[in-house]
Amino acid sequence: MVILSGTFRERADGVARTLYRLSATLSMQQIHHWVFAPLVDEVEGDYLKVHKVSSVPLPLYREYRFSVPTSRLAHQLDSINPDVLQIATPDCLGLFGLRYAKRRQLPVVSVYHTNFPSYLRYYKLGWLEASVWRYLRYFYHRCDVVLAPSERMRLLLAEKGVSGVRLWGRGIEANLFHPRRRDKGVRQGWGGDNCRYVAFLGRLVWYKGLDIFREVYRRLQPKHKELRFVLIGDGPAAPELKKTMPKAIFLGHVDKQEVGRVLASCDLLLFPSSTETFGQSVLESMAVGVPMVVSDVGGPGELVSESQAGIVVKANDVEAFSGAIEKLLNDTTLLEKCRQRGFDFTKNRDWHAINDGIIDIYNELLNGQKAKALSR
Residue 39 pLDDT class (50, 70, 90 cuts):
confident
CA distance 108 to 110: 6
Is the per-residue pLDDT at 150 higher than 90? yes
Architecture, CATH, for domain 179-346: 3-Layer(aba) Sandwich (3.40)
Least confident window among 24-28, 66-70, 110-114, 202-206:
66-70
| Confidence (pLDDT) at 60 | 62
At 70-113, the pLDDT tens digits run: 889 999 999 999 999 999 999 999 999 999 999 999 999 999 99
Measured CA distances, 373 to 82, 366, 368, 369, 376 (Å): 17, 11, 9, 6, 5
229-249: average pLDDT = 96
| Confidence (pLDDT) at 61 | 64
| Confidence (pLDDT) at 370 | 57
- Predicted TM-score (pTM) of the model is 0.92
Domain ranges across the chain? 2-171+350-375, 179-346
113-134: average pLDDT = 88
Residue 373 pLDDT class (50, 70, 90 cuts):
low
244-252: average pLDDT = 97
Contact between residue 269 and residue 201 where contact means Cβ atoms under 8 Å apart: yes
The answer to whether domain 2-171+350-375 and domain 179-346 are alike in fold is: yes
Under CATH, which number does the domain 2-171+350-375 receive? 3.40.50.2000
124-141: average pLDDT = 93
